[in-house]
Amino acid sequence: MNQDNVNLTIDTTLKIDDLALIKHLENSEFLPNIKTVYNKIQPLLNNRIPKIFGSYTLHNIDHSIRIMEYMADIIQDITALSELEITLLIYSALLHDIGMAVSENDITLIKNDDFKSIDIKFSSMKKVMDNDEDLALTEYIRRFHSSLSAKYIRENLNEFFQIPGQITAYFTEDLALICESHTKDFDWISANLTQNDKKGHFHYNAQFIACILRLGDILDIDSSRTPYTLYKSVNPKGISENEWKQHFVITNTKKIEFDSVKKQKQLVFHGESSTANIHRKILLYIDWVEKELIGSMELVNIMPNQYNLLFDSSPKIHIKPIGFTFSEYKMSLDYHAISQLLMGEKIYGSKSLGLREIIQNSLDASRVRQEIEKQNYQFGDDNYEPKIKIILDSKNNTVTIRDYGMGMSMEIIKKHFLNIGVSYYNSTDFKLRDLNYKPIGNYGIGFLSCFMLSDNVKVVTRDYKGKSKFTVELEKYNEYTSLTQIDDFNFEGTEVILNYANFMSVFGNNVAEIKKFLDTYFLTDGITLQLILKEEEITHDIINLLEIAEPNNFIKINLSDYLNDIEGYVIIKNNKDYVTNIENLDFKGDIYTYDDINGIQKVDEHSTIDLDEYIIDNEIKYISIPLVEEDLEERFLNGITFTNSAIEDVIEKLETDLRWISIIVKKDLQEEIYQCTFDDEDSGIFENLKLKELYKLGHSTKCTTAIFEETINIYEGEKNKLYLTFDKAERYFYYRGNYDKKRKELFVRSVLIKEFKLNLPYTASLFEIESLVVNLTSRIFVPEISRNSFDDLTNEEINYILGKAIHCSVLEKFTLSNEKKQTLQSFIEHYYARITEFEK
């Protein structure tokens, strides 16, 4: 960017003495200091901000002056305001963006994470911005610039903000908060600024001034803020380019008109748009303007008359599309339809899983607070201990899920809790905390599952650093809520209060079912989880730890020894040894060989078989055939009649009674193997492998049979001497609780994924998994919206990671000869060659 070109374009024709607000202070004692401050900060706004924010729209002195013009147009009657109020309006227009003019010294401190004025580290912003340092710096300053403006005012300009005639009275803090407010919401304004205050003999309404500032600021959108010559010089890209372009769309600089019919003012936007993309963005911008206007009117129109804003709340839009057609229709969501979808069993599968979602939220809030408390811990402080209680109170007809976690502020309640689908844990605000703990919440819909448990829900919460306790009451299928706010320093965390009768009916009115649910779905390492029966005065401590016992003659694998962000244990036992000859392989029944010259020949001496002649790409393909002997003949024929000749169904039914044989063929014939049935005694798949040949082996002459294609996976270690058999991922195993009395479970941040598919891509036959308990702490693994399972790709990745770790542990823990170790090492390098980010 050419800085000289930028400076040349910032040559305003707007003069501060011509402004209506300034003229109203013509004889005021405030005016000399205003002009001094104006001259002091003009070079910072005009030169310093463009140097840091080269591709952003202008935040120069012209922007401040135009805001003052808009302020004068917005206010009903300037003469009704005090001199101090007009002074605060002028200063806020001049100084609200001064925080963007950060000094080089402060930039160095920011980049070194030594900037104490903001509790978010620059390194955290860099991570969010994919390590783009320049983008991270501009976003860091932009995000916190209103706080930096307040800091600049307090530290550098206090001497200019003395009340005339009052030695000790200053309005510095009020001005700092007003400037800070322009990036905050209206609740912040109400909580931090006053409506009726006095300094010296001057009355002032800081909330009103804050509203006028944010409206004047947001209305400064047109080409005067983005001169075309400057746009061409800057050549902005990406987000900034779209921001610049949308300013070109608006052509009218005067955006406030008086409607003589309605006797009120109205915002009006004129312009032309040549692209649908920018057109959509400008409509979104105008929507934002409308929300700001409505919010300001709601706040100030209950104040005395001189502060009222008499506006039509709906702006008039005259933006003409050029070269495309644009409708006024926009997508909308039906709350009732969406709530039916998200509050029912269609997503989760069972109403009881609503309890999982609530406790999961409590776990996240508790773990996040635990980490923050640990970061802030000083010697002598009490250690924070996460605790969650499920309190059944039949007398008062309530069930309360209580945690002592982060709690919620008003901002989080409005932006996330009451905003369906907008997860706080996916927000930039949370990501900038840069915590090690990665919450499981991703979708921002989990709370709605409460309504699977209760028709009415009450949420009581207080942010652990705040003073206000909020109570939110909600009703199923009704989008309207009630919210009350009181100061209460004794309450901490969050309570979710449900209807007892509704809740108990989901669990069959059986407390034991609730306890079983809690025992199954949550790991309790490092957290206290209690089921409390209030009337009976009984407390059940839920204990479900990650670590599992190691039985005798078994081997326990600690996954943390091999993996990052994945913890847990696997219990394995010895299974099959390495293969040295065909006798060590699992064939069905007796083994035969086949070739076209000798036909079927029984293998009596296994050592005569050279395994290498039968292995293709680590596989032996062979044939298995069930023989129907005389004693089974009648049952077999009856089955054929009953099933209308469905021979494979009959074979499956009689599988364990039939006599099976396995026939191996050398490499050149394996490609010709296929599964089929014998139609008659001369049918078969090879020249000398026909049904009539089976009669010689004892097969009934009255019965047909079938050929089955089988595969043994076998990895070659030392050629013609040492082999390792293994299984490929072909079958899925669903672990739904302890149905086999063995723990085989996978959790994400301590919450069970009940339909996880354990299906290692390759499993050496040396071992068998007896038990497995895994907890994924990485945020990379995101369950599907039901939180019952993962998508197929994620499931495959988890199985690959676990498979590699388990095999590496077997290599380390099993007592093997050097040849056997080398074979297993080669197997791992062949089938688990890819290195994942989780490996240590």
Strand locations in 575-680 (E): 590-595, 599-602, 619-627, 659-665, 676-677
Q: How far apart are CA 543 and CA 132, in angstroms?
A: 45
Taking 60 as the threshold, does the pLDDT of residue 677 lie above it? yes
Q: Tell whether the model's pLDDT for residue 244 goes beyond 50.
A: no
pLDDT at 478: 85
Residue 694 above 90 pLDDT?
A: yes
471 touches 483 (CB < 8 A): yes
Vertex 146, ends 64 and 65: CA angle to 5°? 5
pLDDT in tens, 165-204: 898 999 999 999 999 999 999 999 999 999 999 999 999 9
SS3 assignment, position 710: strand
From 386, 738, 732, select the one nearest 548 (Cα to Cα): 738
Residue 270's closest CA among 260, 281, 280, 282? Answer: 282
SS3 37: helix
Per-residue model confidence (pLDDT) at position 606: 87
Report the DSSP beta bridge partners of residue 660: 626
pLDDT at 737: 43
What is the CB neighbour count within 10 angstroms for residue 429? 15
Q: How confident is the model at residue 791 (pLDDT cuts 50, 70, 90)?
A: very high
- Check residues 367 and 277 and name the one with the higher pLDDT: 367
Q: Are 325 and 364 in contact (CB under 8 A)?
A: no
2-11, 646-655, 774-783: segment of lowest average pLDDT:
2-11
- Are 448 and 342 in contact by the 8 Å Cβ rule? The answer is yes
Distance CA 610, CA 607 (A): 8
Among residues 346, 356, 351, 357, the alpha carbon closest in space to that of 423 is found at 357
Contact yes or no for 605/582 (Cβ under 8 A): no
Cα distance from N-terminal residue to C-terminal residue, the chain: 44
Quick one: three-class SS letters along 723-737?
EEEEEECCCCEECCC
**Above 70 in pLDDT, residue 245?**
no
pLDDT band at 344 (very low <50, low <70, confident <90, very high): low
Q: Give yes or no for residue 506 having a pLDDT over 70.
A: yes
User: Taking the CA of residue 666 as centre, how many other CA atoms within 13 Å lie in the half-sphere pointing to its CB?
Assistant: 10
SS (H, E, C) 409-444: CHHHHHHHHCCCCCCHHHCHHHHCCCCCCCCCCCCC
**Helix or strand (DSSP H, E) at 490:** none
CA nearest 781: which of 442, 371, 301, 299?
Answer: 442
Backbone dihedral angles phi then psi of residue 389, each to the nearest 5 degrees: -120, 135
Distance (Å, rounded) from C-alpha 583 to C-alpha 605? 9
Query: Do the beta carbons of residue 677 and residue 706 sit within 8 Å?
Result: yes
Average per-residue pLDDT for the chain? 89
pTM across the whole model: 0.79
Q: Which of 476-485, 696-705, 780-789 has the highest mean pLDDT?
A: 696-705
Cβ neighbors of 7 (< 8 A, separation 6 or more) are: 46, 47
Tokens of 622: 């062979």
**What's the 3-state SS for 757-804?**
EECCCEEECCEEEEEEEEEECCCCCCCCCCCCCCCHHHHHHHHHHHHH
Question: What was the pLDDT predicted at 734?
Answer: 39
Q: Is 91 exposed, middle or buried (0-12, 13-18, 19+ CB in 10 A)?
A: buried
